[in-house]
Structure 1
Amino acid sequence: MLEEEYQPRRRLPPALRKREEPERGFEYSLRDATAADLPYIREIYNHYVANTVVTLDEDAMTLREWRSKFAWTQKLNYPFLVAVSPIDTILGFAYVSPWRQKAAYRRTVEISIYLGPAATGKGLGSALLGELIVRAKAAGIKEMLSVIADQGAEASLRLHQRFGFKEVGRLGRVGFKFGHWLGTVLLQKSIK
């Protein structure tokens, strides 16, 4: 090889370089979900049902099922949030639901957060989780739980850990989806 081949490439002076357009910030706002949002929430969720192991549901949820879930959270005064774009497109959602049916569990909830595929990796999950914690505390919630698949949900695990959720248990091989056994990781956060 010739010595010239090892020399670094020359760069144009800054004034002659092509200017890159600055990337517009990812814009969104958070608000309470409404019944009118449910078809879009269903669409986001059913994407994960059909394409991932993030949820162990195998059948797409119907609008009727989402209406029932939404009505239940509203009756309990639990937070159910959506993230929307500047033109009011639903980008993601987050809500809490009772951990168990027994009255003694009324201050313990399970959280769920789902983002539209184009909205991942932009800080939206953090914004939703942070607001969900604030609103859950205002609703009198004392313990928040999250059940996360032990495969294919590493970003979700990291997100929860950044917000102070601690791993409190694992269940191995409790779900079977897409021809594979899956376990779950149970995370918990106490709200003070």
Structure 2
Amino acid sequence: MIRTIRDAAEADLAHIAALYGREVLNGTATFELEPPTREEMARRYAAVKRHDLPWLVAELDGTFAGYAYASPFRPRPAYRYGVEGSIYIEEAARGQGVGRALLEALIGRVRAMGLRHVIGAISDSRSSAASIALHRALGFRDAGVYRQVGWKFDRWLDVTLMQLDLAPEGEPPTASGLDLTGGLA
């Protein structure tokens, strides 16, 4: 099996929108209730790229297997050194190292930009043990839990917050951070 991690392109948006749409309808990794259109996913993709942040695609043997991207953590200027990471994996590709490869690549790209934090907000803590374990294995630490903040599939869902410090000693920033004047993704 050949695993490839590459930059996403607009040609990937149909696969990205389809995967995300399935997660909206059938999963708890997102609290959206209606799948966004391909056009809306293109708008979100463009917003991430406007910030020069990574949006990556994974392939297994040349077949789309998932994606990950970083988006600004919050809109206020003091937050310009932190991003939130998002990862979605095709069901058939789960358990094959795709999530780990995407998250490692995303962390590498963000680190190279001189940013300080990667935040993970993992929905449905109860059924996301593998995602939480993956984040811990890559150095994320627990930062808290929002309890029962989402209502989906006739039940309350938690969100586990995790944080990776890319400069754990608290050194001053090595880059100017994100330009947040253009709005968030």
What TM-score do the two structures reach when normalised by structure 2?
0.86
Q: Percent identity?
A: 37
Are residue 188 (structure 1) and residue 163 (structure 2) matched? yes
Determine if contact 1:83/1:91 at 8 Å carries over to the other structure: yes
Candidates 95, 98, 118, aligned match of 1:124 = 98
Report the AA paired with residue 181 of structure 1.
Answer: W
Following the alignment from structure 1 to structure 2, what is the Cα–Cα distance between the partners of residues 74 and 103? 18
What is the number of equivalent residue pairs in this alignment?
Answer: 166
- The match for 1:92 is 66
**Distance in 2 of aligned mates of 1:163 and 1:73:** 23
The offset of 1:123, in angstroms, is 0.7
Task: Return the alpha-carbon distance in structure 2 between the equivalents of residues 151 and 28 of structure 1.
Answer: 29
Given that 1:166 and 1:189 are in contact with CA atoms closer than 8 Å, whether structure 2 keeps it comes out as yes
2:127 aligns to what SS in structure 1? coil
Choose 1 or 2 for highest CA Rg. 1
Instruction: State which of 78, 96, 116 in structure 2 corresponds to 1:104.
Output: 78
Counterparts of 1:154 and 1:59, CA distance in 2: 25
1:147 aligns with 2:121: yes
For 2:129 and 2:51, locate their aligned partners in 1 and report how far apart those are by CA, in whole Å: 31
Give a deviation string over 1:55-80, Cα, whole Å, max 9, x none.
21111121122111111111111011
Q: Is 1:39 matched with 2:34?
A: no
Aligned to 1:164: 139
Runs of 4+ in 1 over 3 A off after TM superposition: none
Which letter maps to 2:89? Answer: L
Q: Is the 8 A contact 1:52 1:152 kept in 2?
A: no
Counterpart pick for 1:58 among 30, 33, 39: 33
User: Superposition RMSD on alpha carbons, in Å?
Assistant: 1.1
Is it true that 1:67 corresponds to 2:12 in the alignment? no
* Gap runs ≥5 in structure 2: 168-185
Q: Displacement, 1:51?
A: 1.0
Task: Report the Cα distance in structure 2 between the residues aligned to 1:188 and 1:120, rounded to whole angstroms.
Answer: 23
Hey, what's the Cα distance between the residues in 2 that align with 1:48 and 1:166? 25
